Structure 1
Amino acid sequence: MPWRNTDDPYRIWVSEIMLQQTRVDQAEPYYQRFTDAFPTVHDLAEAERDAVLQQWEGLGYYSRARYLHEAAQTVVREHGGTVPSTYDGLKSLKGIGPYTAAAVASIAFGKAHGVLDGNVIRVLTRVFAIEEDSTRSATRRRLQALADALVDPDEPGNANQALMELGATVCTPRNPACGECVLEPVCEAADAGHPERYPVTPESKPIPHHDIAVGLVFDEAGRLLIQRRPDDAMLGGLWEFPGGKCEEGESPDAACRRELQEELGITVETDALFYTLKHAYSHFKITLHAYPCRIVDGTPTPEIDQPMQWVTVDELADYAFPRANRKLIEELKRREYAPSLFD
């Protein structure tokens, strides 16, 4: 892993932010691409936010990219471009919580702070057969105390990385390789013969599904209307085609017309359905229905925190979009689509 071959705190920080919600094999190409584009904290701080989001596109949880960008600007502005070397200094930066602060402090600066990510939680709850719900704050405090007590003060970075990678490669969620594990002699869950019982978590709820209708709003020059999502929304800062959720009993084309009236103050005529795709997020699934549209009344007037642009299909590549919208863009290019609404 490339972030294991550097002592640059900036690059270690970037890797830990990426790994918060992403598997190692998924994160590695994004890490390479991101650090090629922004090799230093100064480069990241000076970049336009849209450029940062474009490099992050497809990795998900986009608030991580926005916060990383803001934190880099803080490091340059308030710390002279030097990443803070203490746990508290790191934790003061936007987007850095206890886990990331401990990881960067231990790996980059040799500070004895135990990390507590999903892999470490799984190892510790199995070794100590912790019966309490691992998502509860009290249980997390107990686990953090264990991680801090167990970390090697002489080599905290290596100790933390070893524990994380033990969880990722040996003490796996399903079919853990207990016979290959160096902690098996002291592991209470392995001794009892049911390691997969841990960590204890609440019962999963059914994953909801939403039908989403979006408008491919064309002007007479063949340009498309796109809008940027509010920073405080899911996928904040990314661009999208305007639209929203279908209400109960509402057809997607009716939802498309209603949403564009509510969001932008325009009345549109819809053409035949252009494309339908399914996409899964971490906590819900969607079916996206896209309709070519022509404005028949009104002028698009977005909310102040949702700026809009008219762009050509080729220019869509210059903007950062959610993955579902990107699939739609690829289909527009593949078909070399031109609307029939103005014929």
Structure 2
Amino acid sequence: MTALHSQESLNAYYTENLLAWYRRGNRSLPWRMNRDPYRIWISEIMLQQTRVETVIPYFNRFMDKFPTVEALANAPEEEVLKAWEGLGYYSRARNLQAAARELVQDYDGVMPNDPEAVRGLKGIGPYTAGAILSIAYERPEPAVDGNVMRVLSRFFLLEDDIAKPSARVKIEKLARSLIPEGGAGDFNQGLMELGATVCTPKSPHCLTCPVMERCGARLEGRVDELPVKSKAKPPRPEARVAALAFDDAGRVLIRRRPESGLLAGLWELPHALLPAGSKEGAPTASLPVPAGAPGYPAADAAALAAELAAADGLRLVPEAWLTDAEHTFSHLRWDMRVFRSRLAPGAGAALPPGYAWMAAGEEALYPFPNLFVKLLQAFGPSAFVR
């Protein structure tokens, strides 16, 4: 048998067995109830870097609130961000709405059945375009993400570093060659399903794999070695100090982030970056620690007050070290020290631009990053009766 025929045989084996396995039974997921491209698109954007179990309730609420492209396009941005609150990577939500407006303006609210047009929409890359086009329209487009690269690297014994763009191009070409005529959607979903439930990153369930008999990595005992992936740089740590400040009515002080950059336009507790290496150590007493008590990080509290005064003209008095928290982004990690605070005497009633008082029950009006959602749930105006 020639090498060409051997490769064709291997490809046919893979496609036939994967497709039959997927069609025998797969997970019941809300975005699989039909082939509506809008539902597929929303689910694929939500699933980026987010677990299926986390996405399901968000997807259902999002579809209830924005059931059509037009509803999403016409909604106030803050409503969209609030519906996304807790999922992270908020640029995804903004891009969704921007693309929805493009669809309404240029395509009468209908996702086009054209690869170039779909890839031209805001926030839609090759993977998402492939998923939409194959599942909704049976277009033979590959949908290659990290799961698919792992699955194909193992079966076909590929040693390319999947962190490099050249490896993605190679695997996309391979995936395209495997797509069966008339079965693009089920095949791509089968690849996704296999990576999510069987060919997992650690401890894969090889004995239940529909293509295990000819899997190169299993036959050579290299399942744990593949795929090859160079390590990304660890997130850069940033020490920050934040104020949980209340007024006499029990409202908490919040501010809005700038319209561009990290977490653009979301609301947050006022906070400031500490110089590298200046953050004081771990608590020597149980929290909260009142100002002046042993273990109180007075230098951090002073830095918080000074930085907010210099940056925003906000005059605050930290009263107690309340808690420490952290949040990791893809490229950096915030190590946040939180102080219960109040406005300084004589600070005046007018707040700096971008600031607001939020009362108990008003949390639904303001979209927050997940770190501040957790802090407000634990210590905000609705967490206790003052």
How far did 1:73 drift? Answer: 1.2
How far did 1:20 drift? Answer: 1.3
Query: Does residue 35 of the first structure (1) align with residue 83 of the second (2)?
Result: no
Q: Residue 321 of structure 2 aligns to a residue in which SS?
A: coil
Could you tell me the percent identity over the aligned residues? 41
Query: Does residue 224 of the first structure (1) align with residue 225 of the second (2)?
Result: no
Query: C-alpha offsets along residues 170-197 of structure 1, whole Å, 9 cap, x if unaligned?
Result: 1111111222222223322111111121
Q: Assess if the C-alpha contact under 8 Å between 1:111 and 1:153 holds in 2.
A: no
Query: Quick one: distance in 1 between partners of 2:138 and 2:32?
Result: 14
How far did 1:276 drift? Answer: 3.1
Quote the residue 1:336 is aligned against: 385
Query: Quick one: distance in 2 between partners of 1:220 and 1:182?
Result: 64
Q: Residue 101 of structure 1 aligns to a residue in which SS?
A: helix
Query: TM-score under structure 1 normalisation?
Result: 0.90
The one of 96, 104, 116 aligned to 1:68 = 96
Q: Assess if the C-alpha contact under 8 Å between 2:234 and 2:331 holds in 1.
A: no
Query: Does residue 99 of the first structure (1) align with residue 127 of the second (2)?
Result: yes
Q: Residue 28 of structure 1 aligns to a residue in which SS?
A: helix
Quote the residue 1:312 is aligned against: 359
Quote the residue 1:255 is aligned against: 303
Query: Does residue 289 of the first structure (1) align with residue 343 of the second (2)?
Result: no
Query: Does residue 80 of the first structure (1) align with residue 128 of the second (2)?
Result: no
Distance 1:335 1:275, change over 3 A: farther
How far did 1:143 drift? Answer: 1.0
Query: Does residue 171 of the first structure (1) align with residue 232 of the second (2)?
Result: no
How far did 1:294 drift? Answer: 0.8
How far did 1:312 drift? Answer: 1.9
Query: Quick one: distance in 2 between partners of 1:238 and 1:146?
Result: 41
Query: Quick one: distance in 2 between partners of 1:46 and 1:289?
Result: 39
The one of 49, 53, 58 aligned to 1:21 = 49
Query: TM-score under structure 2 normalisation?
Result: 0.80
Query: Quick one: distance in 2 between partners of 1:24 and 1:53?
Result: 20
How far did 1:204 drift? Answer: 5.1
Letter in 1 for 2:325: L
Quote the residue 2:216 is aligned against: 188
Quote the residue 1:341 is aligned against: none
Query: Does residue 148 of the first structure (1) align with residue 176 of the second (2)?
Result: yes
Q: Assess if the C-alpha contact under 8 Å between 1:216 and 1:290 holds in 2.
A: yes
How far did 1:311 drift? Answer: 2.5
How far did 1:231 drift? Answer: 3.9
Quote the residue 1:109 is aligned against: 137
Query: Quick one: distance in 2 between partners of 1:57 and 1:28?
Result: 14
Q: Assess if the C-alpha contact under 8 Å between 1:264 and 1:300 holds in 2.
A: no
Letter in 1 for 2:306: R
Q: Which range is displaced more, 28-37 or 201-210? A: 201-210
Q: Which range is displaced more, 81-90 or 231-240? A: 231-240
Query: C-alpha offsets along residues 117-162 of structure 1, whole Å, 9 cap, x if unaligned?
Result: 1111101111222222111111111111111111123110001000
Q: Assess if the C-alpha contact under 8 Å between 2:161 and 2:229 holds in 1.
A: yes
How far did 1:205 drift? Answer: 4.4
How far did 1:282 drift? Answer: 4.7
Q: Assess if the C-alpha contact under 8 Å between 1:114 and 1:150 holds in 2.
A: no
Q: Assess if the C-alpha contact under 8 Å between 1:241 and 1:325 holds in 2.
A: yes
Q: Please report the RMSD computed on the Cα atoms of aligned residues, expressed in angstroms.
A: 2.1
Query: Does residue 271 of the first structure (1) align with residue 300 of the second (2)?
Result: no
Letter in 1 for 2:385: E
Query: Quick one: distance in 1 between partners of 2:258 and 2:202?
Result: 39
Q: Which range is displaced more, 84-93 or 275-284? A: 275-284
Q: Assess if the C-alpha contact under 8 Å between 1:113 and 1:148 holds in 2.
A: yes
Residue ranges of structure 2 left out of the alignment (5+ in a row): 1-28, 280-298
Query: Quick one: distance in 1 between partners of 2:323 and 2:34?
Result: 45
Query: Quick one: distance in 2 between partners of 1:103 and 1:57?
Result: 25
How far did 1:105 drift? Answer: 0.5
Letter in 2 for 1:324: L
Query: Quick one: distance in 2 between partners of 1:148 and 1:191?
Result: 25
Q: Assess if the C-alpha contact under 8 Å between 1:215 and 1:260 holds in 2.
A: no
Distance 1:237 1:182, change over 3 A: same
Q: Assess if the C-alpha contact under 8 Å between 2:256 and 2:268 holds in 1.
A: yes
How far did 1:201 drift? Answer: 1.1
Distance 1:231 1:85, change over 3 A: farther
Query: C-alpha offsets along residues 220-271 of structure 1, whole Å, 9 cap, x if unaligned?
Result: 5544332222343222232101112222325431232133123312332222
Q: Residue 195 of structure 1 aligns to a residue in which SS?
A: coil
What is the aligned length?
333
The one of 146, 150, 154 aligned to 1:126 = 154
Q: Assess if the C-alpha contact under 8 Å between 2:254 and 2:267 holds in 1.
A: yes
The one of 347, 368, 372 aligned to 1:321 = 368
Letter in 2 for 1:60: G
Query: Quick one: distance in 2 between partners of 1:231 and 1:146?
Result: 41
Give the 5 Å matches for 1:228-243: 228-243=256-271
Q: Residue 272 of structure 1 aligns to a residue in which SS?
A: strand
Structure number with larger C-alpha Rg: 2
Query: Quick one: distance in 2 between partners of 1:325 and 1:98?
Result: 33
Letter in 2 for 1:326: V
